[in-house]
Chain A
Amino acid sequence: MGRYKWLVPTIYIVFLMLPIYWLLNMSFKTTNEILGTFSLWPREFTLENYRTIFTDPTWYNGYFNSLAYVLVNMVISVLVALPAAYAFSRYRFLGDKHLFFWLLTNRMAPPAVFALPFFQLYSAIGLFDTHFAVALAHCLFNIPLAVWILEGFMSGVPKELDETAYIDGYSFGRFFVKIFIPTITAGIGVAAFFCFMFSWVELLLAKTLTSVAAKPIAATMTRTASTAGYELGLLAAAGSLTIIPGAIVIYFVRNYIARGFALGRV
């Protein structure tokens, strides 16, 4: 039995790749071929679907919009989570445990519950249909997660590091930037990865908070699908392209993934 162990992950990965392959397959087909024939690979190989996406601003702007708010969200979340996580991992203060739990409860709030109030809130402060609105809204679930991950990694750093630095005459600010942050780069990478992941895949809030100027690629897809009829090839090409940023990000953090998924607390 031990000899055939490798079969289990292999079969699982094949299962994971099948729908992705099918999406890619569709993206290289013409609409006629998709609807007319059933084939395991494109018979009339075409790049037309991709050409449409790269030449039509309503399509490619969707990618820029999505990447813009995801990156802004990632930067905000990690920057504000760093000092907070440090406080939670090093100090005891009034209400610390309750505060930590309250932060985590926001991870449990269904976005569907917040869709309408978010729309009203961000309209009222004049941020509706901006990248910043989506970036801020995604902070609701990304900041608690970033604090949670970073706190786990920081608790793994011995407190002696802090004390030695103070004895050596470092001020808190210099210690934090010059010594502490470099020691937890892995943690920051993992936290940024998770912020990227949950902001990139979320659609309900991103769609509710935008109309034209900041419309994410995912929303462009659903609207095109419903208005322009049955352009499956185009839809498949757009979908295939949304996989790429995620794949690049995973490649960069591949060595930390296992530890990162355990939120640094194994």
Chain B
Amino acid sequence: MSSKTTNQKAWFFVLPVVLLVAFNAIIPLMTVVNYSVQETFGDNVFFWEGVTWFEQVLNSSRFHDSLKRQFLFTGIILAIEVPLGIAIALAMPRRGPWVSVCLVLMALPLLIPWNVVGAMWNIFALPDIGLLGRTINAMGIDYNFTQQPVGAWFTTVLMDVWHWTSLVVLLCYAGLCSIPDDYYQAARIDGAGAWAVFRYIQLPKMKRVLTIAILLRFMDSFMIYTEPFVLTGGGPGNSTTFLSIDLVKIALGQFDLGPAAAMSLIYFLIILLVSWVFYTLMMRNEDQ
């Protein structure tokens, strides 16, 4: 880090990146800001509305409900995927021919288009033609995710666990692979048990990759749209209508641009804020 030299000409190297990203980020963001403070009745005629839309969104029970569902969903999938991912990474072979097989098969769900993931789980979980739906019903449990909110939640969470646990596994595995064998030998000589090895050697080494994993999983699950949209369409009722689904309904379904734009900005700020708080906390712990 200290070997970096000061060179203002480096700006020329980053200029293409800045221009491309700014084109895609700043112009659309300004459009959103623009809509969020105005009212329009079409024909490009706008009226200044100030913070009306923000107040409306922040006070609407619809937004509160979507936000609660979103936090609940993100909380549940983080609580399942992170410990499960760590456990699987710990149990994976460290060397030998099976490593590649495991990695390739585990990475497969990550590269399936998101609407195909939704469609696949739809077919898999339908109570009449799906393997999962049939199996659960055959066990005597009444299950139909298209009609029961609990069933819909169960299916959506299971789908996300199926889809993304591998990301946590692969990250943790990368962290574990960076631990030299000497560490384990030293631990064995000291008579450390499996728990002590995990707590004092493996977990600290995985901290960095775990930070990345949790951040990525938080951000992506908070933006989730396509998979639940294809699987449940946000239903039954509004039971699986997460923030993005609600936002698209308001913006493109009802074409309420003002409230949609205000909601977009609040939504984006929540993600930024939570990510920043989390990142700062993790980094402070690392410094100690």
Contacts and interface: CB of A to CB of B under 8 A. Distances in A.
- A associates with B: yes
Interface of A: 5-9, 12-13, 15-20, 22-23, 26, 34-35, 38, 40, 76, 80-81, 83-84, 86-88, 90-94, 96, 99, 103, 105-118, 120-121, 136-137, 139-140, 143-144, 147, 159, 197, 200-204, 217-218, 221-222, 225, 232, 235-236, 239, 242-243, 245-247, 249-251, 254-255, 257-263, 265-266
A94 B131 contact: no
B105 interface: yes
A80 B88 contact: no
Interface in B228-247: 230, 243-245, 247
Given A16-B166, A262-B212, A139 B24 contact: yes
B13 A8 contact: no
A178 to B, nearest CB: 18
Where chain A touches its partner, the secondary structure class is helix
6 contacts: A8-B87, A38-B134, A92-B6, A257-B107, A265-B212, A266-B177
A116 B120 contact: no
Interface string B82-119: 00000110011100000010111111111111111001
A117 B31 contact: yes
B264 interface: yes
A198 to B, nearest CB: 10
B106 A92 contact: no
Contacts of A114: 24, 28, 32
Interface in B4-48: 4-11, 13-14, 16-18, 20-21, 23-25, 27-29, 31-32
A258 B170 contact: yes
Contacts of B14: 83-84, 87-88, 99
A115 B248 contact: yes
Given A7-B91, A257-B104, A265-B208, 17 more contacts: A6-B91, A8-B87, A15-B162, A26-B123, A80-B17, A83-B13, A84-B14, A103-B21, A118-B24, A136-B24, A143-B21, A221-B115, A221-B116, A235-B119, A259-B174, A266-B178, A266-B208
B152 interface: no
Contact of A16 (B13, B105, B264): B105
Contacts, number: 273
Interface in B100-151: 100, 102-116, 119-121, 123-124, 128-132, 134
Interface size class of B (residues with CB under 8 A): 35 or more
Q: Which of B24, B29, B119, B244 is packed against the most chain A CB atoms within 10 Å?
A: B24
Contact of A250 (B87, B111, B169, B244): B111
